[in-house]
Amino acid sequence: MTEPPHPYALAPGALTALALTAVEHLVSLDAAHGATAALPAVRDLLKRVPELSAAPAALHGRDGDALAALAELCEVIGWILFDAGLDGPAHRMNGRALALAELCGDRATARLVLLNDSMLLTRAGRPLAALEAAARVSGPRPLPTLVATLVLVRRAHATALLGGRREAERLIARARSRFLDGASRHDPPWAWWIDRAELVGHHGWVLARLGDRGRAIPLLHEAATAPGPSYRHLFTAELLAALTGAHAWSDAEELIAELAPRAGDIGSVRTTETLARTAVRLRGCAQAPVNLRDAAAFLLESVPPHPGGQDSPTR
């Protein structure tokens, strides 16, 4: 008796090629222009590729390479949805990516998905769940250098959110120290973006979460002015928040003057949300100079609306 035809039309080789081409295209779009620029391509893929919406269990038995490529594509889509401020869909896509990666034994992609979800959960104000997701990355063998570095970064952010000052500082210091060991041959290809500027920015961000703006500001400034992918505008937004919290009014005004004319082109909703929240605080801050409050009002008008139609998403 012959088996019934599979409900999905693409042959394994064609599905693998399509998924890998889509990954390359989405990563390029995101790095150059930000997540919102990649959203139309994501929506098109979700319409054209039924495997992206299928229950992972329904794909059991498919070619391993095709499943791995699909898992990688779902991970990239999850990241784009997250940076576009669509946290619920991003979390669901992360779950799909993790299930597909586990189905085909792709441990490298599974680790990245867990670390992405840890970041999402910290943003959602769920630090304990974020720590749990990061803990699931570990296995019986030591982690590759850059993967271990990123685990420490995710743990530091979640711990800072819990108020664990000494532990958060210890974790981010360990992350920077581990990074200095250099990439190992076991590090996955996805770790290409973990560089010095990334670590410096996260160090500053963790310190800012802890209220240590004096040490955070120079680190965030260094990261914000380094070349890198589009999403790193987030470090600039965190720098403005830290300057505002430190009452560094002239520096904040200077930064807004640089940011506001190009704010409409920032494709990271996490970034524009942070800018908008800081602008709202500044606009209503009686201690801030009038010209800075006016600049904040202009910045608030300049940031693009949330693509999901939300007015003020929470951090």
Q: How many domains is the chain partitioned into structurally?
A: 2
In a domain, 54, yes or no: yes
Q: Which of 271, 270, 300 is nearest to 283 (CA)?
A: 300
Give pLDDT tens digits for 115-140: 999 999 999 999 999 999 999 999 88
Last residue of a domain, one of 49, 72, 105: 105
- Please state, as a whole number, how many other Cβ atoms lie within 10 Å of the Cβ of residue 291: 11
Which domain, by its residues, includes 250?
213-315
What angle do the packed helices 87-104 and 64-83 form, to 10 degrees?
160
Residue with tokens 């990245």: 112
CA distances in angstroms from 135 to 115, 117, 263, listed in the order given: 9, 12, 36
pLDDT at 310: 52
In a domain, 99, yes or no: yes
CA–CA dist 136, 160 (Å, integer): 19
In a domain, 14, yes or no: yes
Do 39 and 77 contact (CB within 8 A), yes or no? Answer: no
Give pLDDT tens digits for 200-210: 999 999 999 99
- Please state, as a whole number, how many other Cβ atoms lie within 10 Å of the Cβ of residue 313: 17
In a domain, 229, yes or no: yes
Do 74 and 52 contact (CB within 8 A), yes or no? Answer: yes
Q: Average pLDDT, whole number, for the chain? A: 92
Q: Read out DSSP for 189-256?
A: GGGGG--HHHHHHHHHHHHHHTT-HHHHHHHHHHHHTS---GGGHHHHHHHHHHHHHTT-HHHHHHHH
In a domain, 67, yes or no: yes
pLDDT at 6: 44
Give pLDDT tens digits for 141-191: 999 999 999 999 999 999 999 999 999 999 999 999 999 999 999 999 999
The more confident residue out of 86 and 313 is 86
pLDDT at 77: 98
Last residue of a domain, one of 105, 134, 150: 105
CA–CA dist 119, 64 (Å, integer): 28
In a domain, 206, yes or no: no
SS3 6: coil
CA–CA dist 127, 125 (Å, integer): 6
CA distances in angstroms from 246 to 100, 148, 234, 250, 268, listed in the order given: 45, 32, 18, 11, 25
CA–CA dist 249, 126 (Å, integer): 32
CA–CA dist 255, 277 (Å, integer): 15
- Report the pLDDT averaged over residues 26-52: 94
In a domain, 2, yes or no: no
In a domain, 25, yes or no: yes
Q: Is the torsion defined by CA of 104, 77, 194, 241 positive or negative?
A: negative
Q: How far apart are the first and last CA of the chain?
A: 56
Residue with tokens 């570990």: 138
- Indicate the pTM of the whole model: 0.90
**10 pLDDT tier (thresholds 50, 70, 90):** low
SS3 content of the chain, % helix, strand, coil (to 5): 75, 0, 25
Give pLDDT tens digits for 96-115: 999 999 999 999 999 999 99
Q: Which of 47, 51, 72, 75 is nearest to 61 (CA)?
A: 51
Last residue of a domain, one of 82, 105, 128: 105
- Strand ranges inside the chain, DSSP E: none
